[in-house]
């Protein structure tokens, strides 16, 4: 083998230090981006946790969001509509929680001024009088009719079939598709800013409910989630503005406050919406009484 005749000069220590620091910065930055979707917060139950996700490093225009992680194998979902409950007027989110007793309640999709729901809405396998919306292609679907299926999904009607004559899920709510499985943001950039509630399907099968703490555009949210939260498979947007709301049961809230440490989501949840308006449709979650079933698809 020919001898290498090149001469290697030692690098100055300052240059070596700069290169090392640059390397560490790249590594640590990559780790922070990769770990941006990791949530650590308060465990409210076996399969239910709530935390605050702050995407500011990757998304300067997006304020921290309340993030509720739900394991559908341990928590069931129930869709409620005020007329089906025999009510003349829609309750607000806290009244819904008190009435249903769910551990957590969040707003469902969009509705008209007369409180008629816009899109498909099913509870316990029965239609609640609404019809499929032609252009809103996000579908929250839970409690499958077929044993062994995943117990809660975010479906995209661009790719996923949903047969109204042969229901595959008993609890269904249709709304806007925000971010699809291809990474495409499915809303236009309009400049309109409002509070938002999002429902996302994660790669591990859990659902994530995201609630903004400040007004933001849906398009900016979609871009942020695509870039900073890669474990999300697809995301839909429920009703926004003054309708964007979440209620946690008083017992869970009190149990959390009794735990050691600072629970950052509590003041954010209490202060993120100044008023609670009547909501015709909500989705509640409660612990399952049965054992978790094996997921086959």
* Average of per-residue pLDDT across 15-44: 47
Q: The domain containing residue 74 runs over which residues?
A: 42-287
Q: Given this model, what pLDDT does residue 274 score?
A: 59
If DSSP codes are grouped into helix, strand and coil, which group holds residue 84?
coil
Q: Alpha-carbon Rg of the chain, whole angstroms? A: 23
* Average of per-residue pLDDT across 86-98: 96
Reported confidence tier of residue 38, pLDDT bands at 50, 70, 90: low
Q: 67-76, 153-162, 176-185, 258-267: lowest mean pLDDT where?
A: 258-267
The yes-or-no verdict on residue 131 having pLDDT over 80 is yes
| Residue-averaged pLDDT of the chain | 85
Other C-beta atoms closer than 10 Å to the C-beta of 281 total 29
The answer to whether position 100 is within a domain reads yes
CA distances from 55 to 33, 198, 288 (A): 10, 15, 32
Q: Given this model, what pLDDT does residue 294 score?
A: 42
Q: Given this model, what pLDDT does residue 258 score?
A: 83
The gap from C-alpha 264 to its chain's centroid, in whole angstroms, comes to 18
The answer to whether position 60 is within a domain reads yes
The answer to whether position 238 is within a domain reads yes
Reported confidence tier of residue 37, pLDDT bands at 50, 70, 90: low
The answer to whether position 17 is within a domain reads no
Q: Given this model, what pLDDT does residue 13 score?
A: 45
Reported confidence tier of residue 259, pLDDT bands at 50, 70, 90: confident
Number of domains in the chain: 1
The answer to whether position 249 is within a domain reads yes
CA distances from 20 to 14, 24, 27, 29 (A): 10, 6, 11, 14
Q: Given this model, what pLDDT does residue 212 score?
A: 95
């Amino acid at each position: 083998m020919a001898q290498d005749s090149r001469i290697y000069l030692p690098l100055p220590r300052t240059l070596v230090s700069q290169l090392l620091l640059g390397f560490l910065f790249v590594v640590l930055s990559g780790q922070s981006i990769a770990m941006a979707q990791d949530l650590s917060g308060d465990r409210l139950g076996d399969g239910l946790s709530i935390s605050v996700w702050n995407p500011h490093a990757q998304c300067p225009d997006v304020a921290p969001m309340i993030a509720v992680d739900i394991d559908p194998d341990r928590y069931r979902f129930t869709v409620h509509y005020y007329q089906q409950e025999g009510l003349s007027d829609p309750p607000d989110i806290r009244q819904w929680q008190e009435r249903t007793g769910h551990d957590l309640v969040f707003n469902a999709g969009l509705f008209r001024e007369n409180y008629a729901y816009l899109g498909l809405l099913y509870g316990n396998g029965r239609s609640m009088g609404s019809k499929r919306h032609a252009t809103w292609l996000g579908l929250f679907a839970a409690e499958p009719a077929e044993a062994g299926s995943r117990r809660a999904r975010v479906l995209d009607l661009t790719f996923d079939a949903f047969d109204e004559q042969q229901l595959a899920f008993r609890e269904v709510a249709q709304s806007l598709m925000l971010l699809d499985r291809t990474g495409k943001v499915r809303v236009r950039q309009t400049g309109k800013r409002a509070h938002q509630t999002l429902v996302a399907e994660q790669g591990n099968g859990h659902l994530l409910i995201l609630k903004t703490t400040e007004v933001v555009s849906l398009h900016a949210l979609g871009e942020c989630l695509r870039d900073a939260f890669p474990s999300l498979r697809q995301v839909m947007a429920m009703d926004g503005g003054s309708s964007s709301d979440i209620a946690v049961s008083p017992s869970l809230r009190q149990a959390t406050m009794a735990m050691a440490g600072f629970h950052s989501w509590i003041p954010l949840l209490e202060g993120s919406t100044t008023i609670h308006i009547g909501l015709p449709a909500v989705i509640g979650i409660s612990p399952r009484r049965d054992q978790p079933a094996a997921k086959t698809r």
